[in-house]
Structure 1
Amino acid sequence: MTQPILRQMSRDELATVVDWAAAEGWNPGLDDVVPFYETDPEGFFVAEVDGRIAAAISVVNHTPGFAFLGLYICHPEFRGQGIGFALWNHALDHAGTRTVGLDGVPDQQENYERSGFVRAGETLRYAGVIEGRPHPAVRPAQSSELPALAALEAAASGVEKERFFTGWLADTAARKTLVLDRGEGPRGFATLRECRDGFKVGPLVAENPEDAFDLLHAVAALTEGAPVMVDVPSGNEALGDYCRELGLEVPFSTARMYKGPAPATGRHLRAVATLELG
Protein backbone atom coordinates (compact mmCIF):
# COMPACT_ATOMS: atom_id res chain seq x y z
CA MET A 1 0.00 0.00 0.00
CA THR A 2 1.19 3.50 -0.81
CA GLN A 3 2.01 5.57 2.27
CA PRO A 4 -1.02 7.80 2.99
CA ILE A 5 -0.75 11.55 2.59
CA LEU A 6 -2.17 13.31 5.66
CA ARG A 7 -3.41 16.76 4.78
CA GLN A 8 -6.13 19.35 5.30
CA MET A 9 -9.51 18.74 3.74
CA SER A 10 -11.09 21.09 1.20
CA ARG A 11 -14.68 22.29 1.49
CA ASP A 12 -15.66 20.15 -1.50
CA GLU A 13 -14.10 17.13 0.18
CA LEU A 14 -16.06 17.90 3.35
CA ALA A 15 -19.25 17.53 1.32
CA THR A 16 -18.06 14.05 0.32
CA VAL A 17 -17.25 13.17 3.94
CA VAL A 18 -20.70 14.33 5.07
CA ASP A 19 -22.10 11.89 2.49
CA TRP A 20 -19.95 9.20 4.11
CA ALA A 21 -21.49 10.14 7.45
CA ALA A 22 -24.93 9.67 5.94
CA ALA A 23 -23.94 6.23 4.68
CA GLU A 24 -22.80 5.36 8.24
CA GLY A 25 -26.29 6.22 9.51
CA TRP A 26 -25.26 9.44 11.24
CA ASN A 27 -28.06 11.35 9.45
CA PRO A 28 -26.32 14.72 8.87
CA GLY A 29 -28.20 17.91 8.09
CA LEU A 30 -28.94 19.10 4.58
CA ASP A 31 -26.91 22.27 5.08
CA ASP A 32 -24.07 21.28 7.42
CA VAL A 33 -21.02 21.82 5.22
CA VAL A 34 -20.77 25.62 5.27
CA PRO A 35 -21.20 26.25 9.03
CA PHE A 36 -18.95 23.28 9.84
CA TYR A 37 -16.14 24.37 7.55
CA GLU A 38 -16.28 28.08 8.31
CA THR A 39 -15.88 27.43 12.03
CA ASP A 40 -12.25 26.39 11.47
CA PRO A 41 -11.21 25.73 7.85
CA GLU A 42 -7.86 24.39 9.05
CA GLY A 43 -9.51 21.84 11.35
CA PHE A 44 -10.63 19.25 8.77
CA PHE A 45 -8.27 16.50 7.61
CA VAL A 46 -8.11 13.57 5.22
CA ALA A 47 -5.77 10.67 4.56
CA GLU A 48 -5.21 10.30 0.83
CA VAL A 49 -4.07 7.02 -0.74
CA ASP A 50 -3.32 6.85 -4.47
CA GLY A 51 -5.41 9.94 -5.10
CA ARG A 52 -8.41 8.68 -3.10
CA ILE A 53 -9.71 9.82 0.27
CA ALA A 54 -9.21 6.90 2.63
CA ALA A 55 -10.16 8.47 5.98
CA ALA A 56 -11.39 11.74 7.43
CA ILE A 57 -11.55 13.55 10.75
CA SER A 58 -12.19 17.02 12.16
CA VAL A 59 -10.57 18.71 15.15
CA VAL A 60 -12.21 22.10 15.25
CA ASN A 61 -10.69 24.78 17.48
CA HIS A 62 -13.53 26.74 19.07
CA THR A 63 -11.46 28.83 21.52
CA PRO A 64 -7.82 29.14 22.60
CA GLY A 65 -8.63 26.54 25.27
CA PHE A 66 -11.11 24.13 23.66
CA ALA A 67 -11.46 21.99 20.53
CA PHE A 68 -13.90 19.30 19.45
CA LEU A 69 -13.20 16.12 17.49
CA GLY A 70 -15.71 14.61 15.08
CA LEU A 71 -16.37 13.17 11.62
CA TYR A 72 -13.88 10.37 12.30
CA ILE A 73 -14.52 7.93 9.45
CA CYS A 74 -12.37 5.48 7.53
CA HIS A 75 -13.66 4.29 4.17
CA PRO A 76 -14.54 0.57 4.38
CA GLU A 77 -11.93 -0.32 1.75
CA PHE A 78 -9.12 1.08 3.92
CA ARG A 79 -10.08 -0.11 7.40
CA GLY A 80 -7.75 -2.22 9.50
CA GLN A 81 -4.58 -0.76 7.97
CA GLY A 82 -3.74 1.90 10.56
CA ILE A 83 -4.66 4.77 8.25
CA GLY A 84 -7.42 6.14 10.46
CA PHE A 85 -5.25 6.08 13.58
CA ALA A 86 -2.40 7.85 11.80
CA LEU A 87 -4.83 10.57 10.73
CA TRP A 88 -6.23 10.73 14.27
CA ASN A 89 -2.81 11.53 15.70
CA HIS A 90 -2.05 13.99 12.92
CA ALA A 91 -5.30 15.89 13.45
CA LEU A 92 -4.98 16.07 17.23
CA ASP A 93 -1.82 18.11 16.77
CA HIS A 94 -4.06 20.89 15.43
CA ALA A 95 -5.61 21.30 18.90
CA GLY A 96 -2.25 22.06 20.51
CA THR A 97 -2.66 22.26 24.29
CA ARG A 98 -6.43 22.74 24.15
CA THR A 99 -8.89 20.46 25.89
CA VAL A 100 -10.44 18.24 23.20
CA GLY A 101 -13.98 16.89 23.49
CA LEU A 102 -15.73 14.17 21.50
CA ASP A 103 -18.93 12.18 21.37
CA GLY A 104 -17.93 8.61 20.54
CA VAL A 105 -19.79 5.34 20.24
CA PRO A 106 -19.40 3.32 23.47
CA ASP A 107 -17.62 0.37 21.83
CA GLN A 108 -14.74 2.69 20.87
CA GLN A 109 -14.39 4.14 24.36
CA GLU A 110 -11.35 2.00 25.27
CA ASN A 111 -9.56 3.12 22.11
CA TYR A 112 -10.20 6.76 22.97
CA GLU A 113 -8.97 6.18 26.52
CA ARG A 114 -5.65 4.95 25.13
CA SER A 115 -5.28 8.37 23.51
CA GLY A 116 -5.83 10.12 26.84
CA PHE A 117 -9.58 10.76 26.69
CA VAL A 118 -11.62 10.38 29.88
CA ARG A 119 -15.35 9.68 29.95
CA ALA A 120 -17.37 12.53 31.48
CA GLY A 121 -20.89 11.33 30.74
CA GLU A 122 -23.07 10.32 27.83
CA THR A 123 -25.40 11.81 25.26
CA LEU A 124 -28.69 10.06 24.55
CA ARG A 125 -30.45 10.55 21.24
CA TYR A 126 -34.24 10.66 21.58
CA ALA A 127 -36.17 10.12 18.36
CA GLY A 128 -39.79 10.07 17.29
CA VAL A 129 -42.71 12.28 16.38
CA ILE A 130 -43.37 15.23 18.69
CA GLU A 131 -46.70 17.02 18.72
CA GLY A 132 -46.33 20.45 17.17
CA ARG A 133 -47.66 23.16 19.44
CA PRO A 134 -46.98 26.83 18.67
CA HIS A 135 -46.54 29.04 21.72
CA PRO A 136 -47.41 32.75 21.97
CA ALA A 137 -44.05 33.55 23.56
CA VAL A 138 -42.01 31.69 20.91
CA ARG A 139 -40.99 33.55 17.76
CA PRO A 140 -38.30 33.46 15.06
CA ALA A 141 -34.87 34.67 16.14
CA GLN A 142 -33.66 37.99 14.78
CA SER A 143 -30.20 38.31 13.30
CA SER A 144 -29.27 40.97 15.86
CA GLU A 145 -29.96 38.44 18.64
CA LEU A 146 -27.58 35.73 17.45
CA PRO A 147 -24.58 36.84 19.59
CA ALA A 148 -26.79 36.83 22.69
CA LEU A 149 -28.09 33.35 21.82
CA ALA A 150 -24.54 32.08 21.36
CA ALA A 151 -23.73 33.51 24.79
CA LEU A 152 -26.71 31.65 26.30
CA GLU A 153 -25.42 28.39 24.83
CA ALA A 154 -21.92 29.09 26.12
CA ALA A 155 -23.25 29.66 29.63
CA ALA A 156 -25.07 26.32 29.41
CA SER A 157 -22.34 24.20 27.80
CA GLY A 158 -19.33 25.89 29.37
CA VAL A 159 -17.69 26.57 25.99
CA GLU A 160 -17.91 29.59 23.68
CA LYS A 161 -18.50 28.63 20.04
CA GLU A 162 -18.96 32.08 18.55
CA ARG A 163 -17.62 31.27 15.05
CA PHE A 164 -19.70 28.11 14.80
CA PHE A 165 -22.96 29.68 15.97
CA THR A 166 -22.52 32.73 13.72
CA GLY A 167 -23.47 30.44 10.83
CA TRP A 168 -25.42 27.74 12.64
CA LEU A 169 -28.05 30.02 14.20
CA ALA A 170 -28.69 32.03 11.02
CA ASP A 171 -31.81 30.86 9.20
CA THR A 172 -31.40 28.91 5.97
CA ALA A 173 -33.77 26.75 3.97
CA ALA A 174 -32.78 23.81 6.20
CA ARG A 175 -32.31 25.47 9.63
CA LYS A 176 -34.62 27.66 11.68
CA THR A 177 -34.03 29.12 15.14
CA LEU A 178 -36.86 30.07 17.48
CA VAL A 179 -36.54 32.05 20.70
CA LEU A 180 -38.66 32.14 23.83
CA ASP A 181 -39.39 35.78 24.67
CA ARG A 182 -41.89 36.75 27.37
CA GLY A 183 -41.35 40.46 26.77
CA GLU A 184 -37.85 40.86 28.20
CA GLY A 185 -35.82 39.45 25.33
CA PRO A 186 -34.75 35.86 24.60
CA ARG A 187 -34.55 33.63 27.66
CA GLY A 188 -34.10 30.43 25.66
CA PHE A 189 -33.95 29.17 22.09
CA ALA A 190 -33.96 26.08 19.88
CA THR A 191 -32.64 25.41 16.38
CA LEU A 192 -34.45 22.99 14.07
CA ARG A 193 -32.30 21.40 11.37
CA GLU A 194 -33.63 19.40 8.46
CA CYS A 195 -31.63 16.20 7.97
CA ARG A 196 -31.44 13.38 5.44
CA ASP A 197 -34.18 11.71 7.48
CA GLY A 198 -36.44 13.91 9.56
CA PHE A 199 -35.21 16.77 11.72
CA LYS A 200 -32.81 17.36 14.61
CA VAL A 201 -33.26 19.90 17.39
CA GLY A 202 -30.01 21.43 18.56
CA PRO A 203 -28.97 23.43 20.29
CA LEU A 204 -31.83 23.84 22.71
CA VAL A 205 -31.18 26.07 25.71
CA ALA A 206 -33.75 26.93 28.38
CA GLU A 207 -33.76 28.29 31.93
CA ASN A 208 -36.25 25.71 33.23
CA PRO A 209 -38.08 22.53 32.13
CA GLU A 210 -41.29 24.32 31.17
CA ASP A 211 -39.43 26.66 28.82
CA ALA A 212 -37.57 23.71 27.29
CA PHE A 213 -40.82 21.82 26.69
CA ASP A 214 -42.49 24.87 25.11
CA LEU A 215 -39.54 25.34 22.75
CA LEU A 216 -39.50 21.65 21.83
CA HIS A 217 -43.16 21.63 20.84
CA ALA A 218 -42.85 24.98 19.04
CA VAL A 219 -40.04 23.79 16.74
CA ALA A 220 -41.88 20.48 16.21
CA ALA A 221 -44.75 22.53 14.77
CA LEU A 222 -42.42 23.35 11.84
CA THR A 223 -41.84 19.69 10.92
CA GLU A 224 -45.31 18.79 9.61
CA GLY A 225 -45.27 15.59 11.64
CA ALA A 226 -41.86 14.30 10.53
CA PRO A 227 -39.61 12.43 13.00
CA VAL A 228 -37.53 14.59 15.33
CA MET A 229 -34.23 13.76 17.07
CA VAL A 230 -32.89 15.46 20.20
CA ASP A 231 -29.38 14.79 21.61
CA VAL A 232 -29.58 15.22 25.38
CA PRO A 233 -26.34 15.16 27.43
CA SER A 234 -25.93 13.88 30.97
CA GLY A 235 -27.16 16.27 33.63
CA ASN A 236 -30.33 17.22 31.77
CA GLU A 237 -32.61 14.62 33.33
CA ALA A 238 -35.77 16.76 33.16
CA LEU A 239 -35.46 17.08 29.38
CA GLY A 240 -34.64 13.40 28.95
CA ASP A 241 -37.53 12.34 31.19
CA TYR A 242 -39.90 14.50 29.17
CA CYS A 243 -38.70 13.00 25.89
CA ARG A 244 -39.49 9.56 27.30
CA GLU A 245 -42.93 10.77 28.43
CA LEU A 246 -43.56 11.81 24.83
CA GLY A 247 -42.82 8.24 23.75
CA LEU A 248 -39.52 9.01 22.05
CA GLU A 249 -37.12 6.10 21.70
CA VAL A 250 -33.34 6.03 22.21
CA PRO A 251 -31.80 4.52 19.05
CA PHE A 252 -28.25 5.07 20.31
CA SER A 253 -26.04 6.89 22.77
CA THR A 254 -22.53 8.30 22.71
CA ALA A 255 -19.86 8.64 25.36
CA ARG A 256 -18.89 12.28 26.01
CA MET A 257 -15.14 12.28 26.62
CA TYR A 258 -12.45 14.89 27.10
CA LYS A 259 -8.69 14.98 26.77
CA GLY A 260 -7.88 17.68 29.27
CA PRO A 261 -10.10 19.41 31.83
CA ALA A 262 -13.81 19.10 31.11
CA PRO A 263 -15.72 22.40 30.80
CA ALA A 264 -18.01 23.41 33.66
CA THR A 265 -21.60 23.33 32.45
CA GLY A 266 -24.21 25.83 33.63
CA ARG A 267 -27.64 25.44 35.17
CA HIS A 268 -29.65 25.75 31.94
CA LEU A 269 -31.27 22.74 30.32
CA ARG A 270 -29.83 22.02 26.90
CA ALA A 271 -29.61 19.73 23.93
CA VAL A 272 -26.42 19.40 21.88
CA ALA A 273 -26.13 21.35 18.63
CA THR A 274 -24.40 18.56 16.71
CA LEU A 275 -22.34 15.56 17.74
CA GLU A 276 -19.74 16.52 15.12
CA LEU A 277 -18.86 19.97 16.52
CA GLY A 278 -20.26 19.76 20.04
Structure 2
Amino acid sequence: MNSEFTIRPVQPVDIPVINDWARREGFAPGSGDIGIYRQTDRQGIWTGCLGEDPVGCIAGIRYNHAYGFIGLYIVRPDQRGRGYGVRLWREALDHLHDVSCVGLEAAENRIDDYSNWGFQPASATTRWQLEIDSRINQIRSLERPEGLRLIHGDDIPEPKVQIYDADRELNPRPHFLSDWLHHPAGVVTALIDSQQDCHGFARIRPCLLKNEAGWRIGPLLADSPELAELLIMDLLSARQGLVIMDSPGSNALAAPLLEKLGFKAVGRTLRMYRGVMPSRQLDEVYGLACLELG
Protein backbone atom coordinates (compact mmCIF):
# COMPACT_ATOMS: atom_id res chain seq x y z
CA MET A 1 0.00 0.00 0.00
CA ASN A 2 1.32 3.46 -0.94
CA SER A 3 1.73 5.55 2.23
CA GLU A 4 3.51 8.55 0.69
CA PHE A 5 2.17 11.94 1.81
CA THR A 6 1.07 14.10 -1.11
CA ILE A 7 -0.83 17.37 -1.47
CA ARG A 8 -3.36 17.96 -4.23
CA PRO A 9 -6.16 20.45 -4.97
CA VAL A 10 -9.42 19.60 -3.23
CA GLN A 11 -11.83 17.55 -5.33
CA PRO A 12 -15.62 17.43 -4.91
CA VAL A 13 -15.31 13.95 -3.39
CA ASP A 14 -13.23 15.44 -0.54
CA ILE A 15 -15.83 17.99 0.55
CA PRO A 16 -18.01 15.70 2.76
CA VAL A 17 -14.87 14.45 4.54
CA ILE A 18 -13.57 17.99 5.13
CA ASN A 19 -17.00 19.14 6.31
CA ASP A 20 -16.99 16.37 8.91
CA TRP A 21 -13.48 17.30 10.09
CA ALA A 22 -14.52 20.96 10.33
CA ARG A 23 -17.65 20.03 12.30
CA ARG A 24 -15.63 17.96 14.77
CA GLU A 25 -13.17 20.84 15.24
CA GLY A 26 -16.02 23.23 16.06
CA PHE A 27 -15.61 25.29 12.89
CA ALA A 28 -19.37 25.04 12.23
CA PRO A 29 -19.12 24.77 8.43
CA GLY A 30 -22.08 26.22 6.58
CA SER A 31 -23.90 24.37 3.82
CA GLY A 32 -22.03 24.94 0.57
CA ASP A 33 -19.18 26.91 2.15
CA ILE A 34 -16.29 24.73 1.01
CA GLY A 35 -17.60 24.59 -2.55
CA ILE A 36 -17.65 28.40 -2.60
CA TYR A 37 -14.06 28.55 -1.26
CA ARG A 38 -13.07 26.26 -4.12
CA GLN A 39 -14.85 28.44 -6.67
CA THR A 40 -13.14 31.58 -5.31
CA ASP A 41 -9.64 30.19 -5.92
CA ARG A 42 -9.49 26.75 -7.53
CA GLN A 43 -5.76 26.52 -6.83
CA GLY A 44 -6.12 27.72 -3.24
CA ILE A 45 -7.57 24.80 -1.28
CA TRP A 46 -5.77 21.50 -0.83
CA THR A 47 -6.13 18.03 0.61
CA GLY A 48 -3.16 16.20 2.12
CA CYS A 49 -3.28 12.43 1.52
CA LEU A 50 -1.45 9.33 2.67
CA GLY A 51 -1.73 7.30 -0.48
CA GLU A 52 -5.40 7.81 -1.38
CA ASP A 53 -6.47 8.48 2.23
CA PRO A 54 -7.22 12.16 3.06
CA VAL A 55 -5.55 13.18 6.33
CA GLY A 56 -5.56 17.00 6.23
CA CYS A 57 -6.58 20.16 4.43
CA ILE A 58 -5.88 23.88 4.19
CA ALA A 59 -7.18 26.89 2.27
CA GLY A 60 -4.96 29.74 1.10
CA ILE A 61 -7.37 31.85 -0.90
CA ARG A 62 -6.03 34.58 -3.16
CA TYR A 63 -8.64 37.28 -3.69
CA ASN A 64 -6.18 39.32 -5.78
CA HIS A 65 -2.54 40.47 -5.61
CA ALA A 66 -3.32 42.64 -2.58
CA TYR A 67 -5.14 40.25 -0.23
CA GLY A 68 -5.34 36.58 0.64
CA PHE A 69 -6.53 34.52 3.58
CA ILE A 70 -5.52 31.22 5.19
CA GLY A 71 -8.05 28.98 6.93
CA LEU A 72 -9.65 25.54 7.08
CA TYR A 73 -6.31 24.27 8.43
CA ILE A 74 -6.92 20.76 9.77
CA VAL A 75 -4.90 17.60 10.23
CA ARG A 76 -6.83 14.50 11.22
CA PRO A 77 -6.18 13.89 14.95
CA ASP A 78 -4.68 10.42 14.44
CA GLN A 79 -2.12 11.85 11.97
CA ARG A 80 -0.88 14.85 13.94
CA GLY A 81 2.73 15.30 15.00
CA ARG A 82 4.14 13.82 11.79
CA GLY A 83 4.92 17.01 9.88
CA TYR A 84 1.92 16.89 7.56
CA GLY A 85 0.52 20.13 8.94
CA VAL A 86 3.75 22.00 8.25
CA ARG A 87 3.76 20.78 4.66
CA LEU A 88 0.17 21.92 4.15
CA TRP A 89 1.03 25.26 5.77
CA ARG A 90 3.96 25.79 3.42
CA GLU A 91 1.75 24.95 0.45
CA ALA A 92 -0.64 27.76 1.40
CA LEU A 93 2.15 30.26 2.08
CA ASP A 94 3.86 29.43 -1.21
CA HIS A 95 0.60 29.98 -3.07
CA LEU A 96 0.27 33.42 -1.46
CA HIS A 97 3.96 34.38 -1.56
CA ASP A 98 3.43 37.47 -3.73
CA VAL A 99 0.22 38.71 -2.06
CA SER A 100 0.74 42.00 -0.22
CA CYS A 101 -1.35 41.10 2.83
CA VAL A 102 -2.31 37.65 4.11
CA GLY A 103 -4.78 37.24 6.97
CA LEU A 104 -5.89 34.42 9.24
CA GLU A 105 -7.83 33.76 12.43
CA ALA A 106 -5.65 32.31 15.19
CA ALA A 107 -6.85 30.14 18.04
CA GLU A 108 -5.25 31.20 21.32
CA ASN A 109 -2.86 28.23 21.39
CA ARG A 110 -1.55 29.00 17.90
CA ILE A 111 -0.83 32.74 18.22
CA ASP A 112 2.86 32.25 19.03
CA ASP A 113 3.29 29.81 16.13
CA TYR A 114 1.84 32.28 13.64
CA SER A 115 3.87 35.13 15.12
CA ASN A 116 7.01 33.13 14.36
CA TRP A 117 5.91 33.06 10.70
CA GLY A 118 5.63 36.85 10.62
CA PHE A 119 1.94 37.32 11.40
CA GLN A 120 1.03 40.33 13.54
CA PRO A 121 -2.03 40.70 15.79
CA ALA A 122 -4.83 43.03 14.67
CA SER A 123 -8.03 42.53 16.71
CA ALA A 124 -10.04 39.85 18.47
CA THR A 125 -12.90 38.08 16.72
CA THR A 126 -15.75 36.86 18.94
CA ARG A 127 -18.08 33.96 18.24
CA TRP A 128 -21.62 34.56 19.47
CA GLN A 129 -24.43 32.08 20.00
CA LEU A 130 -28.18 32.43 20.46
CA GLU A 131 -30.98 29.93 20.97
CA ILE A 132 -33.78 31.31 18.80
CA ASP A 133 -37.07 31.67 20.69
CA SER A 134 -40.34 33.59 20.59
CA ARG A 135 -38.59 36.91 21.29
CA ILE A 136 -37.71 37.02 17.62
CA ASN A 137 -41.31 38.06 16.98
CA GLN A 138 -40.26 41.49 18.26
CA ILE A 139 -39.37 42.25 14.64
CA ARG A 140 -42.95 43.44 14.24
CA SER A 141 -42.31 46.29 16.70
CA LEU A 142 -38.99 47.45 15.24
CA GLU A 143 -39.24 50.72 13.40
CA ARG A 144 -37.87 50.66 9.89
CA PRO A 145 -36.35 53.98 8.82
CA GLU A 146 -38.49 55.83 6.32
CA GLY A 147 -37.48 55.17 2.73
CA LEU A 148 -35.83 51.79 3.35
CA ARG A 149 -37.23 48.43 2.27
CA LEU A 150 -36.21 44.93 3.31
CA ILE A 151 -35.55 43.06 0.07
CA HIS A 152 -34.90 39.32 -0.25
CA GLY A 153 -33.31 36.91 -2.69
CA ASP A 154 -33.29 37.64 -6.40
CA ASP A 155 -35.00 41.02 -5.90
CA ILE A 156 -31.82 42.37 -4.29
CA PRO A 157 -29.82 44.64 -6.66
CA GLU A 158 -26.53 42.73 -6.55
CA PRO A 159 -24.37 45.48 -8.15
CA LYS A 160 -25.37 47.85 -5.34
CA VAL A 161 -24.59 45.23 -2.70
CA GLN A 162 -21.20 44.61 -4.34
CA ILE A 163 -20.41 48.34 -4.12
CA TYR A 164 -21.56 48.47 -0.51
CA ASP A 165 -19.41 45.48 0.42
CA ALA A 166 -16.31 46.75 -1.42
CA ASP A 167 -16.55 50.09 0.39
CA ARG A 168 -16.54 48.43 3.82
CA GLU A 169 -14.58 45.20 3.61
CA LEU A 170 -10.78 45.06 3.53
CA ASN A 171 -10.73 44.17 -0.13
CA PRO A 172 -13.22 43.79 -3.00
CA ARG A 173 -14.38 40.17 -3.37
CA PRO A 174 -16.86 40.17 -6.27
CA HIS A 175 -16.66 36.50 -7.29
CA PHE A 176 -16.79 35.18 -3.74
CA LEU A 177 -19.64 37.52 -2.79
CA SER A 178 -21.70 36.66 -5.86
CA ASP A 179 -21.45 32.94 -5.12
CA TRP A 180 -22.17 33.63 -1.45
CA LEU A 181 -25.30 35.68 -2.21
CA HIS A 182 -26.75 33.21 -4.71
CA HIS A 183 -26.02 29.85 -3.09
CA PRO A 184 -29.39 28.09 -2.64
CA ALA A 185 -28.64 26.94 0.92
CA GLY A 186 -28.65 30.51 2.20
CA VAL A 187 -31.15 33.34 2.54
CA VAL A 188 -30.08 36.94 1.95
CA THR A 189 -31.82 40.13 3.06
CA ALA A 190 -30.85 43.71 2.25
CA LEU A 191 -31.97 47.23 3.15
CA ILE A 192 -32.49 49.22 -0.04
CA ASP A 193 -33.60 52.83 -0.51
CA SER A 194 -35.67 54.42 -3.26
CA GLN A 195 -32.54 55.00 -5.37
CA GLN A 196 -31.74 51.27 -5.15
CA ASP A 197 -28.71 52.01 -2.94
CA CYS A 198 -27.80 49.51 -0.23
CA HIS A 199 -27.68 50.41 3.48
CA GLY A 200 -26.98 46.94 4.82
CA PHE A 201 -27.22 43.26 3.95
CA ALA A 202 -26.90 39.89 5.64
CA ARG A 203 -27.05 36.17 4.93
CA ILE A 204 -28.06 33.15 7.00
CA ARG A 205 -27.36 29.53 6.11
CA PRO A 206 -27.62 26.12 7.77
CA CYS A 207 -24.44 24.94 9.48
CA LEU A 208 -23.06 21.83 11.16
CA LEU A 209 -22.40 22.29 14.87
CA LYS A 210 -20.52 19.66 16.86
CA ASN A 211 -23.61 17.87 18.12
CA GLU A 212 -26.48 19.26 16.06
CA ALA A 213 -27.50 21.30 13.07
CA GLY A 214 -27.84 25.05 13.44
CA TRP A 215 -27.68 28.38 11.65
CA ARG A 216 -24.86 30.75 10.87
CA ILE A 217 -25.21 34.47 10.07
CA GLY A 218 -22.59 36.14 7.91
CA PRO A 219 -21.75 38.40 6.35
CA LEU A 220 -23.67 41.17 8.10
CA LEU A 221 -22.86 44.75 7.12
CA ALA A 222 -24.97 47.79 8.01
CA ASP A 223 -24.84 51.57 8.30
CA SER A 224 -25.74 51.43 12.00
CA PRO A 225 -26.49 49.03 14.88
CA GLU A 226 -30.20 49.75 14.43
CA LEU A 227 -30.12 48.59 10.82
CA ALA A 228 -27.98 45.59 11.75
CA GLU A 229 -30.64 44.65 14.31
CA LEU A 230 -33.35 44.85 11.66
CA LEU A 231 -31.41 42.50 9.41
CA ILE A 232 -30.73 40.00 12.20
CA MET A 233 -34.34 39.92 13.33
CA ASP A 234 -35.56 39.51 9.77
CA LEU A 235 -33.26 36.52 9.21
CA LEU A 236 -34.24 34.82 12.47
CA SER A 237 -37.99 35.46 12.36
CA ALA A 238 -38.90 32.21 10.57
CA ARG A 239 -36.27 29.93 12.12
CA GLN A 240 -35.71 27.79 15.19
CA GLY A 241 -32.64 26.35 16.85
CA LEU A 242 -29.14 27.55 17.58
CA VAL A 243 -27.58 30.38 15.57
CA ILE A 244 -23.94 31.52 15.61
CA MET A 245 -22.21 34.63 14.32
CA ASP A 246 -18.62 35.92 14.31
CA SER A 247 -18.06 39.64 14.91
CA PRO A 248 -14.81 41.57 14.34
CA GLY A 249 -13.31 43.36 17.33
CA SER A 250 -12.64 46.41 15.20
CA ASN A 251 -16.38 47.18 15.25
CA ALA A 252 -16.94 48.40 18.80
CA LEU A 253 -20.72 48.55 18.25
CA ALA A 254 -21.14 44.86 17.41
CA ALA A 255 -20.78 43.37 20.90
CA PRO A 256 -23.30 45.69 22.62
CA LEU A 257 -25.85 44.99 19.89
CA LEU A 258 -25.48 41.22 20.08
CA GLU A 259 -25.61 41.24 23.88
CA LYS A 260 -28.81 43.31 23.70
CA LEU A 261 -30.35 40.67 21.42
CA GLY A 262 -29.46 37.87 23.84
CA PHE A 263 -26.39 36.44 22.11
CA LYS A 264 -23.69 34.97 24.38
CA ALA A 265 -19.97 35.02 23.61
CA VAL A 266 -18.78 31.41 23.31
CA GLY A 267 -15.33 31.72 21.73
CA ARG A 268 -12.61 34.05 20.57
CA THR A 269 -9.87 34.05 17.96
CA LEU A 270 -7.29 36.66 17.00
CA ARG A 271 -7.21 38.20 13.53
CA MET A 272 -3.58 38.35 12.38
CA TYR A 273 -1.91 39.65 9.22
CA ARG A 274 1.39 39.19 7.47
CA GLY A 275 2.67 41.88 5.12
CA VAL A 276 1.05 45.27 4.70
CA MET A 277 -1.39 45.76 7.58
CA PRO A 278 -4.85 46.86 6.38
CA SER A 279 -5.64 50.51 7.04
CA ARG A 280 -9.43 50.11 6.83
CA GLN A 281 -11.36 49.30 9.99
CA LEU A 282 -14.31 46.92 9.77
CA ASP A 283 -16.49 49.36 11.70
CA GLU A 284 -19.65 48.68 9.69
CA VAL A 285 -19.10 44.91 9.59
CA TYR A 286 -21.14 43.25 12.33
CA GLY A 287 -20.72 39.67 11.17
CA LEU A 288 -17.99 37.99 9.13
CA ALA A 289 -18.92 35.72 6.25
CA CYS A 290 -16.74 32.97 7.72
CA LEU A 291 -13.55 32.60 9.74
CA GLU A 292 -11.98 30.46 7.02
CA LEU A 293 -11.92 33.21 4.37
CA GLY A 294 -11.98 36.38 6.46
* TM-score, normalised by the number of residues in structure 1: 0.92
Matches within 5 A, 1:1-278: 2-98=3-99, 99-130=101-132, 131-132=136-137, 133=139, 137-142=149-154, 145-172=157-184, 174-185=185-196, 186-196=198-208, 197-223=213-239, 225-263=240-278, 264-265=280-281, 267-278=283-294
Alpha-carbon distance between aligned partners in 2 of 1:51 and 1:73, rounded to the nearest angstrom: 17
Q: CA deviation at 1:138?
A: 1.4
Q: Hey, what's the Cα distance between the residues in 1 that align with 2:161 and 2:81?
A: 43
1:200–1:230 Cα contact (<8 Å) kept: yes
Given that residues 68 and 101 in structure 1 are in contact (C-alpha distance below 8 angstroms), is that contact kept between their aligned partners in structure 2?
Answer: yes
Deviation at 1:144, TM superposition (A): 6.4
CA deviation after TM superposition for structure 1 residue 2, in Å: 4.5
Aligned residues: 276
| CA distance in structure 1 between the partners assigned to 2:113 and 2:105 by the alignment | 13
Q: Match for 1:157: what amino acid?
A: E
AA aligned to 1:93 is D
Following TM superposition, by how much is the alpha carbon of 1:242 offset from its aligned partner in structure 2, in angstroms? 1.4
What is the distance in 1 between the residues matched to 2:118 and 2:23?
Answer: 28
Percent identity between the two aligned chains: 28
8 Å CA contact retained: 1:15, 1:33: no
Q: Distance in 1 between matches of 2:284 and 2:247?
A: 12
**Please, which runs of 5 or more residues in structure 1 have no aligned partner?**
none
Compute the displacement of 1:148 (Å).
2.5
What is the CA deviation profile of residues 241-276 of structure 1, one whole-angstrom value per residue up to 9, with x for unaligned ones?
A: 111122211111111011112322355243100111
What is the CA RMSD across the aligned residues, in angstroms?
A: 1.9
Q: Report the CA distance between 1:143 and its aligned residue.
A: 6.1
Displacement of 1:10 in angstroms is 1.4
Q: Partner letter of residue 250 of structure 2? A: G
> Secondary structure of 1:159's partner?
coil
Cα deviation for residue 107 of structure 1 reads 1.2
The 8 Å contact of residues 44 and 58 in structure 1, kept in 2 or not, is answered as yes
Q: Is the Cα–Cα contact under 8 Å of residues 74 and 85 in structure 2 kept in the other structure?
A: yes
Q: 111-120 or 29-38, which moves further after superposition?
A: 29-38
* 8 Å contact from structure 2 (residues 156, 190) kept in 1: no
Between 1:30-39 and 1:71-80, the stretch displaced more is 30-39
Does structure 1 retain, via aligned residues, the 8 Å contact 2:247–2:285?
A: no
The 1:113–1:144 alpha-carbon spacing in structure 2 relative to 1, beyond 3 Å, is same
Query: Scaled by the length of structure 2, what TM-score is found?
Result: 0.87
> How big is each residue's C-alpha offset from its partner over 1:98-121, in whole Å with a ceiling of 9 and x where there is no partner?
111111211111111111111101
In structure 2, distance between residues paired with 1:268 and 1:6 = 38
Q: How far 1:3 sits from its partner (Å)?
A: 4.3
| Structure 2 CA distance for partners of 1:22 and 1:4, relative to 1, 3 Å | same
Q: Unaligned stretches of 5+ in structure 2?
A: none
CA gap of 1:216–1:144, structure 2 versus 1, over 3 A, is closer
